[in-house]
């Protein structure tokens, strides 16, 4: 049986990590696309030449995207397309500063996805992620189940890491997730965070939990401050890969992703027609189920702030793109 095909648009730091993890796990053949001449080709060869030692037969290929979209035709028949193309955050730059620069980049990628492989499952990584997922959605116009963003899973991983390290327990026993926009006002969902089934509210004092929540919210910024010339890519690479894996193996992982909220579920969350991070089930059809969280008044307030920030940016994009 042929291996599935995953295409990664943007062969930068995150794109290369995604390609490497998918290949090491032999989940798929991977095709990298980038505008920088030779970058995708060189990286795909470099990854593939290490695979004999990991016992992986994944095939990789890289393409330079020409000024008129040349080589994008190689997207065709992709099972999954990951969009990481864009500019990374620089120190002092908020995710939102990137907005219009990355709208242009994601728009051009999305137009080619629509042209060559509109039925793929699409995972958007470019920041600001909720908005870039919306941008790609509006251009491609796919079944909304088949497109989602990466953010919540990355933020949840950060939350789990900090809880595990604080308590000195295995990360395997920590259950934690983050909802809302993938921005500074994301909502680490403390009430459902547990360690071996025990609520963290019984294991840690409020001040400690507050510190963990603040560090989670600033997780991306903390790394940018250290790196100075780029943003996080190891954890984003892993977070994206588990989503690809859940689609390709139809694993039905329950994780948080920016998902399209509309209709009845949208009404529940107070969101109509755009993407915000919520717990979902990911399988071969993409977002196969969106779960309802019953917020306390306090949680609802935090959610509303985060969702309204996403909405503001959605409106800016609508105006920018004349939608």
Among the listed residues 6, 88, 242, 248, the single contact to ligand APR using CB under 6 A? 88
Residue placing its CB nearer to ligand APR in the complex, 131 or 174: 131
Q: Strand, helix or coil at 130?
A: helix
Which of 75, 9, 20 lies closest to 48, judged by CA?
20
Q: Which stretch binds ligand APR (CB under 6 A): 80-88, 195-203, 270-278, 315-323?
A: 80-88
Q: Which helix (H) or strand (E) covers residue 119, if one does?
A: none
35 binds ligand APR per the rule CB under 6 A: yes
Q: State the nearest-atom distance from the C-beta of 145 to ligand APR, in Å.
A: 23
CA angle, 188 then 192 then 197, to 5°: 130
CA trace torsion 138, 144, 147, 150 (10° rounding): 100
Among the listed residues 89, 182, 217, 311, the single contact to ligand APR using CB under 6 A? 89
Q: Site mask, ligand APR, residues 220-259, x = CB under 6 A?
A: ----------xx-x--x-----------------------
Sheet containing 60-64: give its strands across. Answer: 60-64, 29-34, 5-9, 80-83, 121-124, 147-149
Residue placing its CB nearer to ligand APR in the complex, 85 or 113: 85
Q: Strand, helix or coil at 25?
A: coil
Q: State the nearest-atom distance from the C-beta of 277 to ligand APR, in Å.
A: 15
Does residue 309 have an active-site annotation? no
163 binds ligand APR per the rule CB under 6 A: no
What 8-state DSSP symbol labels residue 295? -
Q: Name which of residues 40 to 69 contact ligand APR (CB under 6 A).
A: 65
Residue placing its CB nearer to ligand APR in the complex, 233 or 275: 233
Q: Name which of residues 4 to 23 contact ligand APR (CB under 6 A).
A: 9-15
- Give the E-state strand segments of 36-168 in sequence order: 60-64, 80-83, 121-124, 147-149
Q: State the nearest-atom distance from the C-beta of 22 to ligand APR, in Å.
A: 15
What 8-state DSSP symbol labels residue 228? S
Q: Name which of residues 98 to 117 contact ligand APR (CB under 6 A).
A: 102, 105, 108-109
Residues 6 or more apart whose Cβ sits within 8 Å of residue 13: 88, 230, 231, 233
86 binds ligand APR per the rule CB under 6 A: yes
* Count of residues that interact with ligand APR, criterion CB under 6 A: 28
Among the listed residues 127, 153, 216, 313, the single contact to ligand APR using CB under 6 A? 127
Long-range contacts of 88-91 (CB under 8 A, 24+ apart): 88/12, 88/13, 88/127, 88/230, 88/231, 89/127, 89/220, 89/224, 89/231, 90/224, 90/229, 90/230, 91/224, 91/225, 91/228
Q: Which of 21, 53, 55, 182 is catalytic?
A: 182
Which positions touch ligand APR (CB under 6 A)?
9-15, 34-36, 39, 65, 84-86, 88-89, 102, 105, 108-109, 125-127, 230-231, 233, 236
Positions annotated as catalytic residues are: 182
């Amino acid at each position: 049986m042929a291996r599935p095909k995953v295409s990664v648009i943007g062969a930068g730091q995150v794109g290369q990590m995604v390609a490497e993890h998918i290949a090491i796990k032999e989940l798929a053949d991977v095709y990298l696309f980038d505008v920088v001449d030779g970058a995708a080709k060189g990286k795909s060869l470099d990854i593939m030449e290490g695979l004999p030692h990991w016992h992986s037969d994944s095939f990789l290929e890289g393409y330079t995207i020409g000024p008129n979209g040349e080589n994008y035709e190689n997207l065709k028949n992709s099972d999954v397309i990951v969009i990481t193309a864009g500019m990374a955050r620089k120190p002092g730059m908020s995710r939102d500063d990137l907005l219009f620069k990355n709208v242009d980049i994601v728009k051009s990628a999305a137009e080619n996805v629509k042209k060559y492989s509109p039925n793929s499952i699409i995972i958007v990584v470019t920041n600001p992620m909720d908005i870039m997922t919306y941008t790609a959605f509006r251009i491609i116009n796919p079944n909304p189940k088949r497109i989602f963003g990466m953010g919540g899973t990355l933020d949840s991983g950060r939350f789990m890491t900090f809880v595990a390290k604080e308590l000195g327990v295995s990360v395997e026993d920590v259950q934690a997730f983050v909802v809302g926009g993938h921005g500074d006002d994301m909502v680490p969902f403390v009430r459902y965070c547990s360690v071996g089934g025990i609520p963290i509210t019984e294991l840690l004092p409020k001040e400690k939990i507050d510190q963990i929540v603040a560090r989670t919210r600033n997780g991306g910024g903390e790394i940018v401050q250290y790196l100075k010339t780029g943003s996080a890519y190891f954890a984003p690479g892993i977070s994206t890969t588990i989503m690809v894996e859940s689609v390709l193996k139809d694993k039905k992982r329950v994780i948080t992703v920016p998902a399209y909220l509309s209709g009845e579920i949208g009404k529940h969350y107070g969101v109509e027609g755009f993407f915000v991070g919520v717990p979902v089930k990911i399988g071969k059809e993409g977002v196969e189920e969106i779960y309802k969280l019953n917020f306390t008044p306090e949680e609802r307030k935090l959610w509303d702030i985060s969702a309204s920030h996403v909405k503001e940016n959605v409106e800016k994009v609508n105006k920018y793109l004349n939608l």
